[in-house]
Structure 1
């Protein structure tokens, strides 16, 4: 597919999602979002510009020359979920987070649905061929999931534990790098996926209505407590009339 069509398709899809979600935020949140969108927008932009370029083909050739044409690993199928493990482990250890575990799960789910939805649409629309000759290269699905998970981890712990918050991006970057080393993706596929994921997650964390939806959080009348009794775990619920 011609580069211009790739650019237009990418920008259009991201713009539609940005517009639909952005309408639900206040002016202060929007200003904050635009500042935070510089990095992911840049990643997306560079990814689009490098798409099908001579530079990315040469870079990929250099990568394969470095790791070897016989290089194969399945590590990238697993480390994309590392940020999720980090987040819930931190919750269990009592590390202070921005949101309740249910809200974390809610934002994680919604962010992945939207970012993966955009990625899958682009895969079909661009019909780009992977380095190994198979279809649907742009953007990288693995990288999309990895960076979405990392972005949620970052959102939750950036104020209380910066090292933990940013560590998720190390796993996400490794995922993207391994997708290239496995001869499954070009560099533009990885960069665009990273940009889309971070941008979408930033947007999801600005949705006002969802912030009040949490059936497990203590309210004025309904409360949930963890309960342990004779080797069994569960929840104790109480309602005050």
Structure 2
């Protein structure tokens, strides 16, 4: 199974290399967000740690030790992670609604967010379906990687990219909430530390890829849709959490 996970991760990283092409029709025409290999270091390390943790006895011991340490201090479960995973990228829309303008308009940031969500969601779900990692609470064998954490860090990177030129503290706050989401996934006995690490890396990398792909997607698919407005809101039907988007053309 580890070979499958490595293949999926390497395919995700391969997407990033397109930004270095010298073809004028490639991603290299995006002069504002040029591809930088150093941007891959942190997400690659996080994903690598998680993948290696599937087989490494040393990292498995760290998983168990972390679980035991957290369980010693648990009084009851908190499901705040079901909500906090969405808070960072929803903050982008809230800040724009409040008049704090970010890097992109509604159309462009929504295209970027949708692309990041698609990349992240597809990657996480394919790995979960091809893996066989039991959750700490023993309820299912799709523990690796953490989808909640991936969503949270995808949103944190999105918030950082949109508002880093306004104030770096927006991005820092987003990453703090994302880290908290990962912690509560372990606190609630739903994920191992290596699951959370891999999820964080996938989330960050998915957003970076979405920004690098945005010029192509915008040019090829949405070039005629200049007037695009709407809103994104969290929804809950009594059993499941999700997102609803209302868009006007």
Tell me how far apart the structure 1 counterparts of residues 126 and 18 of structure 2 sit (CA, whole Å). 17
The residue aligned with 1:182 is 188
Taking structure 1 as the reference length, the TM-score comes to: 0.78
Provide closer, same or farther for how the CA distance between residues 62 and 132 of structure 1 changes in structure 2, counting only shifts above 3 A. same
Q: How many residues align?
A: 219
Taking structure 2 as the reference length, the TM-score comes to: 0.76
For the pair 1:118 / 2:123, whether they are aligned, the reply is: yes
Q: Which has the larger radius of gyration?
A: 1
Tell me how far apart the structure 2 counterparts of residues 124 and 13 of structure 1 sit (CA, whole Å). 17
Conserved? CA contact 2:186–2:193, under 8 Å: yes
**Which of these residues, 143, 168, 171, is aligned with residue 137 of structure 1?**
143
Tell me how far apart the structure 2 counterparts of residues 91 and 31 of structure 1 sit (CA, whole Å). 25
Alignment partner of 1:37: what SS? helix
Alignment partner of 2:166: what SS? coil
Provide closer, same or farther for how the CA distance between residues 48 and 198 of structure 1 changes in structure 2, counting only shifts above 3 A. same
Unpaired runs of at least 5, structure 2: 230-248
Q: CA deviation at 1:195?
A: 1.0
Tell me how far apart the structure 2 counterparts of residues 192 and 22 of structure 1 sit (CA, whole Å). 25
Q: CA deviation at 1:61?
A: 3.4
Tell me how far apart the structure 2 counterparts of residues 181 and 57 of structure 1 sit (CA, whole Å). 17
Q: CA deviation at 1:139?
A: 0.8
Q: CA deviation at 1:28?
A: 7.8
The residue aligned with 2:68 is 65
Unpaired runs of at least 5, structure 1: 219-223, 225-236
Q: Deviations over 1:48-107 (max 9, x none)?
A: 222243344433433343343764221110101111232112112222311002211221
Tell me how far apart the structure 1 counterparts of residues 7 and 135 of structure 2 sit (CA, whole Å). 19
Tell me how far apart the structure 2 counterparts of residues 28 and 93 of structure 1 sit (CA, whole Å). 29
Conserved? CA contact 1:33–1:203, under 8 Å: no
Runs of 4 or more consecutive aligned structure 1 residues displaced over 4 Å after TM superposition: 19-23, 27-31
Q: What is the RMSD computed on CA atoms of the aligned residues?
A: 2.9
For the pair 1:54 / 2:57, whether they are aligned, the reply is: yes
